[in-house]
Amino acid sequence: RKEVEQDPGPFNVPEGATVAFNCTYSNSASQSFFWYRQDCRKEPKLLMSVYSSGNEDGRFTAQLNRASQYISLLIRDSKLSDSATYLCVVNKASGAGSYQLTFGKGTKLSVIP
Amino acid sequence: NAGVMQNPRHLVRRRGQEARLRCSPMKGHSHVYWYRQLPEEGLKFMVYLQKENIIDESGMPKERFSAEFPKEGPSILRIQQVVRGDSAAYFCASSPQGGNQPQHFGDGTRLSIL
């Protein structure tokens, strides 16, 4: 089983739609969680951290369920500029005071006019 | 630009040559991470460094790859005797502290091996 699994998509949605991305992780020792977005041939950019209590940033809502090792991202009222690949990212301790980010392969979103 | 700076943006090498990729972290960040992204794949951790120390190199291939982060100057990822399979995007990230902090990424270096 992969450490971080995401539906690869692509998700093609019309402007204004609500879209949800799901992610599962295998390592129960994982300690922090993030969503990044990556535009084509660009670097990953931090979208938001994910907390157990759930958190919202404008049109974006992230949820974490530690018991089921599941992370979600909801985008409301999607815009053309939301078109990108969304990366589920998990941070875990790897020993000797080190932490590693483990990336999912990403879910590609295309918002269509 | 106070972000993570990587250079060169694009690097072309012939098989057997050496590739040197440079990364200057964000101002105030002393923790540097290198990742590799193969075509159509997710980013894979390679190495984590603090100034003058390699903290975790568990993701680095055992041969031909090395990394350093000297007291002065940028972090360097060095690939000796490159092969076609080394063609990838190499991203550097930095954080102010280690641990659970989010990491901020540079633009990446796209390495192509002829």
Residue B91 touches chain A, beta carbons under 8 Å: yes
DSSP 8-state symbol, A37 = E
Tokens read off for B30: 């002393």
- Measured between alpha carbons, how far is residue B37 from residues B34, B62, B83, B91, B108 in Å? 10, 18, 16, 8, 10
Cis omega (within 30 of 0) on the bond before B8? yes
Separation between Cα atoms, residue B22 and residue B108, nearest integer Å: 10
Helices (H), chain A: none
Tell me if A100 and B102 make a contact (CB, 8 A cut-off).
Answer: no
Q: Which residue of B has its CA nearest to A6?
A: B42
Tell me if A91 and B104 make a contact (CB, 8 A cut-off).
Answer: no
Q: Which residue of A has its CA nearest to B4?
A: A43
Residue recorded with tokens 């990556």:
A38
Q: pLDDT class for A97, splitting at 50, 70, 90?
A: low
Beta-bridge partners for B49: B32, B54
Q: E strand or H helix at B2, and its extent?
A: none
Q: E strand or H helix at A51, and its extent?
A: none
Separation between Cα atoms, residue B104 and residue B101, nearest integer Å: 10
pLDDT at A94 over 80: no
Closest by CA position to B23, among listed B12, B9, B7, B43? B7
Cis omega (within 30 of 0) on the bond before A10? yes
Q: Which of B43, B89, B106 sits opposite A103 (nearest CB)?
A: B43
Q: pLDDT class for A96, splitting at 50, 70, 90?
A: low
Burial (CB < 10 A; 0-12, 13-18, 19+), residue A3, is: middle
Separation between Cα atoms, residue B39 and residue B89, nearest integer Å: 8
Q: pLDDT class for B99, splitting at 50, 70, 90?
A: confident
Tell me if A105 and B102 make a contact (CB, 8 A cut-off).
Answer: no
Q: Which of B35, B98, B102 sits opposite A97 (nearest CB)?
A: B98
Range of weakest confidence among A8-22, A41-55, B93-107: B93-107
* Mean pLDDT estimate for chain B: 93
Question: Mean per-residue pLDDT for B54-60?
Answer: 92
Q: What is the pLDDT of residue A31?
A: 84
Starting at the earlier edge strand, list the strands of the sheet with A70-75. Answer: A4-6, A19-25, A70-75, A60-65, A55-57
Could you report the per-residue pLDDT of A28-86, keeping only the tens digit for each?
888 899 999 999 989 999 999 998 888 999 999 999 999 999 999 999 999 999 999 99
In this structure, the strands spanning A107-112 and A11-14 are parallel
Q: pLDDT class for A111, splitting at 50, 70, 90?
A: very high
